[in-house]
Amino acid sequence: MAQTSVDAQLTHIAAALDQIETTDADALDQLRTSLLGRKSGALTQLLRSLPSLEPAERRQVGKRANVLKREIEAALEARGLALARPTGAVSDQDLTMPGRRRWHGALHPLTQVIDEICGIFRELGFSRTVGPEAETEEYNFTKLNIPLDHPAADMQDTFYLKPHVVLRTHTSPVQARTMERHEPPIRIVVPGLAYRRDPFDASHAPVFDQIEGLVIDEGVSFVDFKAAIDYFARRFFSADTAVRFRPSYFPFTEPSAEVDAQCQICGGDGCSACKQTGWMEIMGAGMVHPAVIENCGLDAERYTGYAFGMGPARIAMVRYGIPDIRMFFENDMRFLDQFLD
Amino acid sequence: MYASLNWIGDMLGRELDAADTARRLTMLGATVDVVERVHEDLSEIVVGLVERVERHPNADRLSLCLVDAGDGGGSVEVVCGAPNVQAGTKYPYAASGTVLPGGLKLTKRKIRGVVSNGMLCSARELGLGQDHEGIMALSTDATPGTPLLDVLRLADTRLDIDVTPNRPDLLCQKGIARELAAVLGEVVKLSPIAGAATVALAPRRAEAAGHVGGIEVRLDDTDGSPRYIAAVIEGVEIGPSPQWLQARLHSIGTRPINNVVDATNYILHELNQPLHAFDLRNLREGALIVRRAARGERLRTLDGVDRTLTPDMTMICDGKGPIAVAGVMGGADSEVTDATTDVLLECAYFDPKRIRATRSALKMNTDASFRFERGIDLEGMTGAVRRAVELIMAVAGGREPEAALDLYPHPAGQTTVFLRSARVAHLLGVEISRGEIERHLTSVGFTVAPRDDRMAVQVPGWRPDVRREVDLIEEVARLHGYDAFPVEMRPFRPTTVPDAPSELVAARIRRMLCALSLHEARTMPLGPPVGSEPQEVLNPLSADEAYLRTALLPGLVRSVEGNWAAGVRDVRLFEIGRVFRASSGDQPPDETIRLAGVLTGAREPGHWMGSGSGGDLDLWDVKGMLEEAVRVAAGPGTRLSPNGNGGWDVQTSGETVVGEAGPVDADAPPWAGPLFGFELDVTARPSEGGGDRFMPLPATPAVERDVALVLPPGVTVAQVEDIVRRSAGPLLEACSVFDEYRGSDLAGRSVAWRLIFRHPNRTLRDAEVAKAEKKVLAALREELGVERRES
């Protein structure tokens, strides 16, 4: 047998590889038989004819034929599997039908906002701690430099549980509790509930979330305070949000400030949400009053710091456009379903 | 607190721009909440000149006037009903189409057959007074058509300022002007009183008693009133105040009453000095005594209420008894009336704490008590009383027969506070030069003198809030401008405070339950009493919210009912929160952190192919969730045990019940699914350290054996599992239930178990497994009477 003829046969058989890839199930068996059939398979016959060739040619053709045989076997196998696999592409299947869903749970929107806020302060090295909701007057007022016989005590209408025991009107008592238990440097955020005798309406709840922050160390200054709060506001809202510090008064901070962020609804042009001011109050804050530091047993000449308090509910209402604070407590599944991760 | 832009502008001697003023005040700490134009509703009213007056052809009492309203369109005919209308006089004129104060819109209409083009107005129609006798004649040179607001100088802007409780000095026009003067570089100067001819006499200082205008004045309670000034003015004529005074009061939202009262109100709002005018003739026995009330003494106050007094209150009394609650409210019988001719004017300082206690005991919050409680200017009183006397004489006539009596037995010294410029830099984070510090402080009335390396700062009387160094540093920061400090992140040291374990546990529980498809909920901690030893609130908002919760589940069940009421059937909620239990004595209640969950409705959302595991959530779903929660939040050895109510108790290894789960009763509509709930104490335990460790994956094959066991009545799966684990030997890796069968062919029930055996180092032989299985079956038979089920 001339070599050219053997070459032609090999080329011819190799062409079947393309055919295998597109053939259907019935034709696949025929193709297998015609190529590899024990009696009349084209490749079988070619291999059988090898002994009749010259030794040199035999080695070369034999090598090529065996490679081809493996390729054909693999192709037949793969095609067979592909044909056996359920395709789903059955002609009468409507793939626009809805997929199978599972229920999802979600964190409460207030928790999401609280976690995000605490997370930003964690970037600035704050740890997260808590304190009791029922407090003594001493921790809620006196240690925080709020004398009960001063009008400053009227800034918060208080629920009493028994004489000298109150539901905390802010998370600030945790400032005192932390200063008494830990040596500076202190950097904490304190999420938790606070209570005030405000009737439940669209913008007030008698029980509400607050996040307290406290930093106490040597050499902490008003510049550090501004930088931290500015960092927070820009991280929470957006990098180009303007932040404004306004002098204010809280008995436990001095200098005190109210911090405003550029109104997130009108962008600072003035709208009904920001009472036309273009600003949105986000927290009360300031340098910790030396009297508070002294009341907690630390040296106010040596240690300074700053503190802040904010209401995540109000921030969440602005962020999500929620008109009524009561919706946070109704636990309507259709409401909660809107805050999936 | 309302400020009038005109009033303040007069003190500063310049025009003020409303928006700029509001911004400056806000950035000084006097936040301006609202800026509103005063009398803006009069902006369309103009000066009209009546050129001719004729009788109305069809009505005797009406006149037909020809009015020049200056709009260039010639004169118009206006029908007028006022008897005082005169040709050649100017009046306020409202053209047709104008909306009058109160909302009435004028239309062009026929009055008795003649068309009237607008209206000439009375003071009352314009909201400028009570006078309705006739139209308001204007004595002005202004040309017809000039806006009325320009002529009367009524055009003013009112700023509503949120004054913080530490700044009583900002409760008056002068205080606001002082702040602005500091940033504008102006000087505050009180405007001269229009028509003031006489200068009031300088008050005479005395100790605790003296005479003025024939009245004996005695200061017995010097704690309650460290300084008391009394002035007498004789021969006043009570009547309406002049236009300018009424306008001033209008501009800050105060209603004019009569000239004497208006004058005292003017001084109150100008200088923050509350004054009280007594009718001299009503002072019985010619005496006025400042003393503590006697126990049980009574007084009918101006508001007509009879008050019972206590010795903690300071009273103003005459020779017979109390006539005013000092610094809070006057009595009904000593008030100035229309018939009053002689007045005793009180200009006093009352102790802030005393006033606060008094007004809170009597539940009367008045303008005067508000100011005394915050502290007025002890040093500005003589100036205030002289200005008040001059003003009264200017607007109500009368004379001062004798200089005012100033009872001030123990004069308070000047307050001096020392300030270190190094401390300013230390606290504020930037160097501010000594010169600049001094400039800032003197700009708002402090006096600064050097004292070694410090500054000795004298605090003016109107700043009772400034008592220590940090108060001055705040002043410096405020006047320097908070905006002027850089936003500059500087190095900081790491915190020593660890994260609260309870927060870490709560975060893990939240993640886990959200993954199990529960939504996090928030319920109110205040509600009706539930459970044992609920903590009561002494001053609740309502009886429904008078107790702190002792459990979370009731609130969550109410939320489920709310969802049902809204037609929502599939509800899965959890909450982590604090519950309270009353404690004895003066201790705060005990607080524990709990987790609770509720579930009802379909286990999976519906799908057109039919849902996978289908059906409603049931008892086993809630048990599974509780088991997960216990795994995450409870201590080792915690287990669930049936509680006899179709649910479980969660018990610690010490047999303490820390939670429960099971079916829950609720007010359910007929279409609702069954409701289940769980609650668990998750108060974080101290960290146990270590945490989860990796277990090497098995390298040898396992042998599984399925065994069906017949459990006689009364025998539980927990008992069986106990014995299986105990008796199978070390080769048993796991055992679990995978089926239960109950049928009449069985005495009891058949429970199918899968036992998994494995040797850590080699492949197990059948004989070894058979031997272990045999031991298990023997132990079960012997201890529980449990047999293998013969198929």
pLDDT for A245-257, tens place per residue? 999 999 999 999 9
Share in percent of chain A as helix, strand, coil (round to 5):
45, 20, 35
Residues 275-294 of B with CB under 8 A from A: none
Q: Pick from A188, A290, A331: which is nearest to B497 by CB?
A: A188
DSSP state at residue B616: B
**Phi, psi dihedrals of residue B715, rounded to the nearest 5°:** -90, 135
Please, how many CA atoms are within 13 Å of residue B696, restricted to the half-sphere of its CB?
5
Q: Considering only CB atoms, which chain B residues are within 8 Å of A249? A: 29, 164-167
Is the pLDDT score of B612 beyond 80? Answer: no
Closest-CA residue of A relative to B352 is A150
A111 interfaces chain B, CB cutoff of 8 Å: yes
Question: Which residue from A317, A314, A235, A320 is spatially nearest to A281, judged by alpha carbons?
Answer: A314
Could A106 and B514 be called an inter-chain contact, meaning their C-beta atoms sit closer than 8 Å?
yes
Question: Per-residue pLDDT averaged across A201-217, rounded?
Answer: 94
Residue of B355, B358, B417, B474 for testing the chain A interface, max A β-carbons within 10 Å: B474
A239 interfaces chain B, CB cutoff of 8 Å: no
Q: Considering only CB atoms, which chain A residues are within 8 Å of B607? A: 98, 100-101
Report CA Rg, chain A. 39
Integer Cα distance of B35 and B5 in angstroms: 10
Q: Judge contact between B572 and B554, C-beta under 8 A.
A: no
Q: Considering only CB atoms, which chain A residues are within 8 Å of B374? A: 151
A98 interfaces chain B, CB cutoff of 8 Å: yes
Q: Considering only CB atoms, which chain A residues are within 8 Å of B428? A: 221-223, 255
Q: What pLDDT, in 10s, does the model give residues A211-224?
A: 999 999 999 999 99
Whether the upstream peptide bond of residue B352 has omega within 30° of 0, thus cis, is no
Give residues with Cβ within 8 angstroms of B298, minimum separation 6: B306, B307, B308, B309, B322
The secondary element (H helix, E strand) that includes residue B55 is: strand B46-56
Integer Cα distance of A172 and A251 in angstroms: 11
Could B588 and A248 be called an inter-chain contact, meaning their C-beta atoms sit closer than 8 Å?
no
Say which residue, A156 or B204, is predicted with more confidence: B204
Could A106 and B29 be called an inter-chain contact, meaning their C-beta atoms sit closer than 8 Å?
no
Integer Cα distance of B218 and B211 in angstroms: 9
Could A165 and B587 be called an inter-chain contact, meaning their C-beta atoms sit closer than 8 Å?
yes
- B566 min Cα distance to partner chain A (Å): 8
The DSSP bridge pattern shows strands B648-651 and B639-642 to be antiparallel
A140 interfaces chain B, CB cutoff of 8 Å: no
Q: Considering only CB atoms, which chain A residues are within 8 Å of B486? A: 223, 226
The DSSP bridge pattern shows strands A253-262 and A243-250 to be antiparallel
Q: Considering only CB atoms, which chain A residues are within 8 Å of B473? A: 254-255
- pLDDT-derived band of residue B750, with 50, 70 and 90 as boundaries? very high
B426 interfaces chain A, CB cutoff of 8 Å: yes
Question: Per-residue pLDDT averaged across B94-107, rounded?
Answer: 83
Distance (Å) of CA A298 to CA A122, A217, B272, B336, B470: 25, 10, 39, 56, 16
Integer Cα distance of B668 and B675 in angstroms: 9
Integer Cα distance of A133 and A110 in angstroms: 18
Integer Cα distance of A183 and B464 in angstroms: 34
Q: Considering only CB atoms, which chain A residues are within 8 Å of B28? A: 247
Integer Cα distance of A118 and B373 in angstroms: 39
A287 interfaces chain B, CB cutoff of 8 Å: yes
Give me the amino acid identity at B137: A
B440 interfaces chain A, CB cutoff of 8 Å: no
The secondary element (H helix, E strand) that includes residue B448 is: strand B447-451
A147 interfaces chain B, CB cutoff of 8 Å: no
Could A125 and B503 be called an inter-chain contact, meaning their C-beta atoms sit closer than 8 Å?
no
Give residues with Cβ within 8 angstroms of A232, minimum separation 6: A117, A120, A121, A124
Of A28-42, B212-226, B341-355, B439-453, which gets the smallest average pLDDT?
A28-42
The angle that helices B469-480 and B434-443 make with each other, rounded to 10 degrees, is 90
Question: Per-residue pLDDT averaged across B228-257, rounded?
Answer: 91
Closest-CA residue of B relative to A205 is B524
Q: Pick from A103, A135, A224: which is nearest to B490 by CB?
A: A224
Q: Judge contact between B701 and B763, C-beta under 8 A.
A: yes
- A295 min Cα distance to partner chain B (Å): 16
ipTM: 0.86
Q: What pLDDT, in 10s, does the model give residues A89-124?
A: 556 788 888 888 889 999 999 999 999 999 999 999
- pLDDT-derived band of residue B791, with 50, 70 and 90 as boundaries? low
Integer Cα distance of B346 and B213 in angstroms: 13
Q: Considering only CB atoms, which chain A residues are within 8 Å of B570? A: 103, 333
Closest-CA residue of A relative to B517 is A105
Question: Per-residue pLDDT averaged across B677-701, rounded?
Answer: 78
Measure CA of the first residue to CA of the last residue in chain A; give whole Å. Answer: 74
Q: Judge contact between B747 and B700, C-beta under 8 A.
A: no
Question: Which residue from B664, B675, B670 is spatially nearest to B567, judged by alpha carbons?
Answer: B670
Could B537 and A159 be called an inter-chain contact, meaning their C-beta atoms sit closer than 8 Å?
yes
DSSP for A26-40? HHHHHHHHHHH-TTT
- A83 min Cα distance to partner chain B (Å): 26
Is the pLDDT score of B689 beyond 60? Answer: no
Q: Judge contact between B11 and B190, C-beta under 8 A.
A: yes
Q: What pLDDT, in 10s, does the model give residues B163-193?
A: 999 999 999 999 999 999 999 999 999 988 8
- pLDDT-derived band of residue A17, with 50, 70 and 90 as boundaries? confident
Could B578 and A193 be called an inter-chain contact, meaning their C-beta atoms sit closer than 8 Å?
yes
Integer Cα distance of A158 and A164 in angstroms: 11
Could A224 and B468 be called an inter-chain contact, meaning their C-beta atoms sit closer than 8 Å?
no
Residues 471-490 of B with CB under 8 A from A: 471, 473-474, 477-478, 482-483, 485-490
A227 interfaces chain B, CB cutoff of 8 Å: yes
Integer Cα distance of B270 and B175 in angstroms: 8
Question: Which residue from B598, B618, B739, B744 is spatially nearest to B673, judged by alpha carbons?
Answer: B618
pLDDT value, residue B611: 55
Q: What is the average pLDDT score of chain B? A: 91
Residues 491-550 of B with CB under 8 A from A: 492-500, 502-503, 507, 510, 513-526, 535-541, 545, 548
DSSP state at residue B50: E
Could B608 and A167 be called an inter-chain contact, meaning their C-beta atoms sit closer than 8 Å?
no
Question: Which residue from B261, B336, B625, B166 is spatially nearest to A145, judged by alpha carbons?
Answer: B166
pLDDT value, residue A257: 97
Could A186 and B166 be called an inter-chain contact, meaning their C-beta atoms sit closer than 8 Å?
no
- B748 min Cα distance to partner chain A (Å): 37
Could A103 and B167 be called an inter-chain contact, meaning their C-beta atoms sit closer than 8 Å?
no
For B729, the 3-state DSSP assignment is coil
The secondary element (H helix, E strand) that includes residue B262 is: helix B259-271
Q: Judge contact between B781 and B742, C-beta under 8 A.
A: no
pLDDT value, residue B630: 87
pLDDT value, residue A91: 63
Give residues with Cβ within 8 angstroms of A63, minimum separation 6: none
A272 interfaces chain B, CB cutoff of 8 Å: no
Residues shown for chain A: 341
Distance (Å) of CA A234 to CA A117, A162, A221, B437: 11, 43, 20, 32
Q: What pLDDT, in 10s, does the model give residues B364-380?
A: 999 999 999 999 999 99
The structure tokens listed for B613 are: 């595991």
Say which residue, B548 or A93, is predicted with more confidence: B548
Burial status of residue B468 (CB atoms within 10 A of its CB: 0-12, 13-18, 19 or more): middle
Question: Per-residue pLDDT averaged across A192-207, rounded?
Answer: 92
Closest-CA residue of A relative to B355 is A149
Closest-CA residue of A relative to B568 is A333
Could B492 and A100 be called an inter-chain contact, meaning their C-beta atoms sit closer than 8 Å?
no
Q: Pick from A111, A183, A337: which is nearest to B496 by CB?
A: A183
Question: Which residue from B296, B294, B343 is spatially nearest to B314, judged by alpha carbons?
Answer: B294
- pLDDT-derived band of residue B693, with 50, 70 and 90 as boundaries? confident
Report CA Rg, chain B. 42
Share of chain A above pLDDT 90, in %: 57
Q: Judge contact between B221 and B292, C-beta under 8 A.
A: yes
Give residues with Cβ within 8 angstroms of B472, minimum separation 6: B417, B419, B441, B446, B457, B466
DSSP for A278-298? SEEEEEEEEEEPHHHHHHTT-
Question: Per-residue pLDDT averaged across B237-249, rounded?
Answer: 90
Residue of A232, A244, A331 for testing the chain B interface, max B β-carbons within 10 Å: A331
Measure CA of the first residue to CA of the last residue in chain B; give whole Å. Answer: 91
Q: What pLDDT, in 10s, does the model give residues B528-538?
A: 998 888 999 99
Integer Cα distance of B79 and B96 in angstroms: 12
Handedness of CA A95, A97, A102, A106 (dihedral sign): positive
Is the pLDDT score of A1 beyond 50? Answer: no
Cα-based torsion angle of the residue sequence B302, B307, B310, B311 in order, rounded to the nearest 10 degrees = 30
Integer Cα distance of A253 and A308 in angstroms: 9
Is the pLDDT score of A309 beyond 90? Answer: yes
Burial status of residue A231 (CB atoms within 10 A of its CB: 0-12, 13-18, 19 or more): middle
DSSP for B101-150? TTSPBP--EEETTEEE-SEE-BTTTTTS-S--SSB--B---PPTT-BHHH
Residue with tokens 């002082």: B178
Integer Cα distance of B173 and B268 in angstroms: 9
- pLDDT-derived band of residue B208, with 50, 70 and 90 as boundaries? very high
Residue of B183, B366, B482 for testing the chain A interface, max A β-carbons within 10 Å: B482
Could B498 and A206 be called an inter-chain contact, meaning their C-beta atoms sit closer than 8 Å?
no
- A138 min Cα distance to partner chain B (Å): 12
Closest-CA residue of B relative to A134 is B588
Of A143-157, A182-196, B223-237, B540-554, which gets the smallest average pLDDT?
A143-157
Is the pLDDT score of A26 beyond 90? Answer: no
